[in-house]
Amino acid sequence: MSKQNIHPDQYCVFGNPIAHSKSPLIHAAFALQTGQAMVYDRRLAPLDGFALAARTFAAEGGKGANVTVPFKLDACALATELTPRAQAAGAVNTLRFDNETILGDNTDGAGLVADIVRNAGVSVAGKRILLLGAGGAARGVVLPLLEQGPQEMFIANRTVATAEALVAQFADALAHPGQLRAGGFAQPDGQFDIVINATSASLAGDLPPVPPGIFGRHTLALDMMYGAQPTVFMDFAAQHGAQVRDGLGMLVEQAAEAFYVWRGVRPQTQDLLAQLRSAL
C-alpha cells in the first residue's frame, strides 16, 4: 500500500483564543521527524461549548487533542478515565479518544521537569524549590516535581488558604513531613535552588511580591510564560544573580509528552526548541 493511500490520523488543539498557538507547528515537526502519518490543527471552541466541540471532533474520527486555556477543567470533566497525574492536577491538557473511552492526561508537569532536568541540566533531587502561584498551572506540576525527590518545596500564593489546600491535597505523595509547605509571597526564607513562576502576573507585566533574597548565583528562575523579551520576573531574578529561563522549553516538552501519549513515540526536542527560540 503506498503512503498516499494512508489517511493521516487527526489531532488538534482546543482553546479560546487559539490563533496564537504554536502547537500545530510543534506537532507537525514531531510527525515529520518520527514518520508518523498525522495532521494537527487549531480549533476554536465556544466558551460554553467545549464538551460538544471535543465530542464532535472525536465523532469525525479525531484521535486526540491538546487543550489550552480556558478548557483544562472542562477537559477533566469530559474524560471517562484520568491518568494519576491528571487526577492529581485536577486539570487535563491532553485527550486521547479510543472508541468510547476518553483518556485525560496532564503533561504540563512532565514537560516542566524535562525542561529543567534535560534542557537546563539542573537536577531537582535534594533541592529547595519555590513554586509561585497555586492555580491550575501550579497544580499541574506539583506531583511530577515531588516525584523527583526535592528536599523541600514551598508553594507561595497571594491567598494562603489556596496554597495550603494544595499542600493538603498532596500529603500522601510526600517522602517526609515538611517536604511541602505553603505560605504568602513574603514568607519564603533563604535562597532556593529552583524558583518557578506559575502565576499569570507576567501576562500583565507584573511581579509576584517575593523577597529578592530567594535568588542567588545557584538559583534557576523559570517563568512559565515566554516571549521575545524576558519577563519582568526573569529580569528581577537576573538582577539578583539568578540564571533565568522562560516557558518555551516547557511548552515543547509537554507537547513531546502528549505526542508520546498518542503515538507511543518520543520525539527529539532540541533542534525544534532552538528553531522556535530564534523565531521569537
Is position 123 annotated in a ligand binding site?
A: no
Residue 62 annotated as lining a ligand binding site: no
Is 226 annotated in a binding site? The answer is: yes
CA-to-CA distance for 270 and 171, rounded, in angstroms? 35
Of residues 3, 63, 72, 127, which has the active-site annotation? 72
Tell me if 200 is assigned to a ligand binding site: no
Q: Is 108 annotated as ligand-binding?
A: yes
127 catalytic? Reply is: no
* Sign (positive or negative) of CA dihedral 225, 231, 234, 236: negative
Q: Per the structure block, which three cell numbers stand in for 228?
A: 521575545
Give residue 194's identity as a one-letter amino acid code: I
247 annotated ligand binder: yes
Q: Exposure of 159 by Cβ count < 10 A (0-12 exposed, 13-18 middle, 19+ buried)?
A: exposed
C-alpha cell at 232: 519582568
How far apart (Å, rounded) are the C-alpha atoms in residues 29 and 110?
Answer: 20
Q: Which residue type sits at 52?
A: L
Q: Is 133 annotated as a binding residue?
A: yes
- The closest of 211, 163, 208 to 190, measured between CA atoms, is 211
| Residue 127, marked binder | no
Q: Is 135 annotated as a binding residue?
A: yes
Backbone torsions φ then ψ of 109, nearest 5 degrees:
-65, -45
Active site amino acids: 72
What are the binding residues for shikimate? Answer: 21-23, 68, 93, 108, 226, 254
What are the binding residues for NADP(+)? Answer: 133-137, 224, 247
What are the binding residues? Answer: 21-23, 68, 93, 108, 133-137, 224, 226, 247, 254
